[in-house]
Amino acid sequence: MFDQKTLANGLRIIGEKIDHFRSVAVGLWIGAGSQYETPPEAGVSHFLEHMVFKGTQKRTARQIAEEMDAVGGQLNAFTSKECTCFYAKVVDEHLDLAMDVLSDMATAPKFDPTEMEKEKGVVIEEIAMAEDTPEDVVHELIMLAQFGDQPVARPILGSERSVSSFAREDLLSYWGGMYHPRNAVLALAGNYDWERVVDAAERLLGNWGATPRAAADFHTHAVEPTALFKEKDIEQVQICLGYPGVTMEDERNYAFSLLNSVLGGSMSSRLFQKIREEKGMAYSIYSYPNSYLDCGMLSIYAATRPEQAAEVLQMIRGEIASIAEKGIRREEFQMAREQLKAGFILGSESTSARMNSLGRRLLLLNQTRTETEVIDRINAMRFEEVNALAREILTAPSALAVVGRDAEKLSRQMGTEA
């Protein structure tokens, strides 16, 4: 069971106590991500995450780092499409300090103009690094091919142009409108005293208030998927196929994950065995599921030599057509179900992983789910349910993204061979 409390200002707190651990992970989750940015704001959620580490009203950037290092703690953050999380992992006796630092960073950032200009350079280099990584490029491109110019398809990092344009007032406006207690969750997992946690949260975050910005329509709408390409002078062609998926709230989410596992999510998957093990035509070949609040996507990725690209894509489509028509085999279903259970259990054997699961689910879905409930849901999956979902997803129109030499020519050739 979980400890839960909602403060008077709307901040939700959730914890999972694990007595036999000496560590505790704590995260402050904010419902601010690239999904909620207007085009001129592209990348502001991620840039704000960077700037929070550059100093607060009472701590310099150096003091933030030194205070956590002095107790051997870990401090970090990440930005996704739908949320930002600032988190720490410490020995249990230093939880008060971790909560103090995280609260200070999120509620009282300084946004120093000089530091902003320096950090713009850092983020622009991060964008350049992603552009120099072909695998990253094709994953961004498949989002555009599947969803078009909608917020969910835009890069989390933004663009050099958008990041360069940010002024201090832009950060203050976005921070003030998105960083407020009713749009936040404080999550913990590990060894803690719940009364002390609540007392500290009341002291550090009980007076936190802000004015939420006006709601805008950031919902993802269905569009016709397309084929996109990007020319790059690289040795391999990067290929991505995209199919519609399920949302985070969809009860078929576990079936979605199981389908992915059979198709390309493991070493025993059809695509890995066929294209890498049997044919030796790719080193990297896999599929992965993405589920968001209002949309989802199943992506299939492969990297191969240009002269093999059309054949590799044809084999991928052949396996997809086979699953759509005949379904997965019962032995595949049973193996993948065990993989899902084992993956969940093994992935839950750290305080950080448990804190992540608690915080994300409560923030985005306002739900909790115990380990037993997850295992029960996986066990309750039916063979026919997975095959019905496979038919629905894999017979839908697909998106295509190609990156490499002669990418335009290849995308036209491969796009007509569906």
For 348-385, the pLDDT digits (tens) are: 889 999 999 999 999 999 999 999 999 999 999 999 99
Q: Is the pLDDT of residue 418 over 50?
A: no
- The full set of domains in the chain, from first to last, is 3-205 (3.30.830.10), 227-415 (3.30.830.10)
Distance CA 388, CA 346 (A): 29
- Whole-angstrom Cα distance, residue 255 to residue 152? 23
Q: Which residues are catalytic?
A: 49
- Report the pLDDT value the prediction gives residue 376, as an integer from 0 to 100: 97
pLDDT tier, 411 (very low <50, low <70, confident <90, very high otherwise): confident
Choice among 26-30, 81-85, 188-192, 348-352 with the minimum mean pLDDT: 348-352
Confidence of residue 215 (pLDDT cuts 50, 70, 90): low
- pTM given for the model: 0.94
Calpha distance 177→164 (Å, rounded) = 21
Residues 125-131: contacts with CB under 8 Å, at least 24 apart: 126/157, 127/155, 127/157, 127/158, 127/159, 127/160, 127/163, 128/160, 130/155, 130/157
All residues at 6 or more sequence positions from 360 whose CB lies less than 8 Å from its CB, including other chains: 29, 83, 85
The stretch 3-22 carries a mean pLDDT of 96
What pLDDT digit, counting tens, does each position of 277-317 carry? Answer: 999 999 999 999 999 999 999 999 999 999 999 999 999 99
Residues 321-339 have a mean pLDDT of: 98
Higher pLDDT: 413 or 368? It is 368
- Which pLDDT tens digit goes with each residue over 137-179? 999 999 999 999 999 999 999 999 999 999 999 999 999 999 9
pLDDT in the model for residue 263:
98
SS3 27: strand
Residue from 341, 357, 349 nearest 254 by CA: 341
Q: Assign 415 a pLDDT band (cuts: 50, 70, 90).
A: low
Q: Where are the alpha helices (DSSP H) in 71-182?
A: 95-107, 113-131, 134-147, 160-165, 168-178
The three-state DSSP-derived secondary structure of 186-206 is EEEEECCCHHHHHHHHHHHHC
Share of the chain above pLDDT 70, in %: 98
Average of per-residue pLDDT across 390-395: 98
Going by pLDDT thresholds of 50, 70 and 90, the confidence category of residue 222 is confident
pLDDT tens digits, 236-288: 999 999 999 999 999 999 999 999 999 999 999 999 999 999 999 999 999 99
Mean pLDDT of the chain: 95
Nearest CA to 107 out of 169, 58, 42, 167 is that of 58
Tell me the two tokens of residue 328.
């997965």
